[in-house]
């Protein structure tokens, strides 16, 4: 019984160190915004096609870096959910893409988010950024008319030093 008194404060301390992922600003993650001068339907099909092309480990051998081990969870023209397993470090990141058509003109705004599942990952060498960026590059979406990308080092862990050739 005495032991419990000693253990309980330790347990609560440990639990408080691993809060829900979204509430932790120090957890490795990346939030960014893309704009395209093409329809959300085209953006949606491009992203989904690329995720499916990069599911097998073979695509990392072929394309290099971390361009493999993506897994589509669910997808519609408004919302895409996927996972990416890191080839080198073998942990999983969760990816979401919210697609919003801009009225009147043929264009699409995408809010993309990637977060590492393990709570202890604080620095990620920009891996969460590359999880998202590699899909946009691989699918050719970065060359779409009107493409812009907005993020910064506060929204996106180690964004400015990320090297997506490696990750």
Ligand X SMILES: *[C@@H]1O[C@H](CO)[C@@H](O)[C@H](O)[C@H]1NC(C)=O
When asked if residue 88 is in the footprint of ligand X (CB under 6 A), the reply is no
Least distance (Å) from ligand X to the CB of residue 164? 8
Minimal distance, residue 66 CB to ligand X, in Å: 12
Does position 166 interact with ligand X (CB under 6 A)? The reply is yes
163 contributes a contact to ligand X by CB under 6 A: yes
Distance CA 72, CA 69 (A): 10
Q: What is the 3-state secondary structure (H, E, C) of 35-100?
A: EECCCHHHHHHHHHHHHHHCCCCHHHHHHCCCCCCEEEEEEECCEEEEEEECCCCCCEEEEEEEEE
Q: Does 22 bind ligand X (CB under 6 A)?
A: no
Closer by beta carbon to ligand X, 22 or else 165: 165
Segment lying near ligand X (by CB under 6 A), choices 16-24, 46-54, 101-109, 158-166 = 158-166
| Position 123 contacts ligand X (CB under 6 A) | no
Burial class (CB in 10 A: 0-12, 13-18, 19+), 30: buried
Please provide residue 61's backbone torsions phi and psi, each rounded to the nearest 5 degrees.
-65, -40
Q: Does 165 bind ligand X (CB under 6 A)?
A: yes
Interface positions with ligand X (CB under 6 A): 163, 165-166
């Amino acid at each position: 019984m005495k032991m419990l008194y000693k253990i309980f404060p330790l347990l609560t301390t440990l639990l408080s160190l691993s809060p829900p992922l979204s509430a932790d600003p120090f957890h490795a993650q990346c939030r960014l915004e893309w704009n395209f001068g093409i329809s959300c339907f085209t953006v949606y099909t491009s992203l989904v096609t690329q995720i499916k092309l990069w599911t097998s480990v073979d695509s990392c051998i072929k394309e290099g870096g971390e361009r493999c081990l993506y897994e589509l969870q669910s997808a519609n023209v408004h919302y895409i959910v996927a996972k990416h397993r890191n080839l080198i470090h073998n942990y999983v990141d969760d990816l979401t893409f919210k697609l919003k058509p801009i009225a009147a003109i043929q264009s699409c705004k995408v809010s993309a988010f990637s977060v590492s599942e393990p709570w202890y990952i604080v620095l990620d060498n920009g891996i969460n950024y590359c999880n998202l960026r590699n899909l946009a590059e691989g699918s050719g979406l970065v060359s779409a008319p009107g493409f812009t990308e907005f993020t910064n080092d506060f929204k996106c862990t180690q964004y400015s030093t990320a090297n997506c050739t490696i990750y």
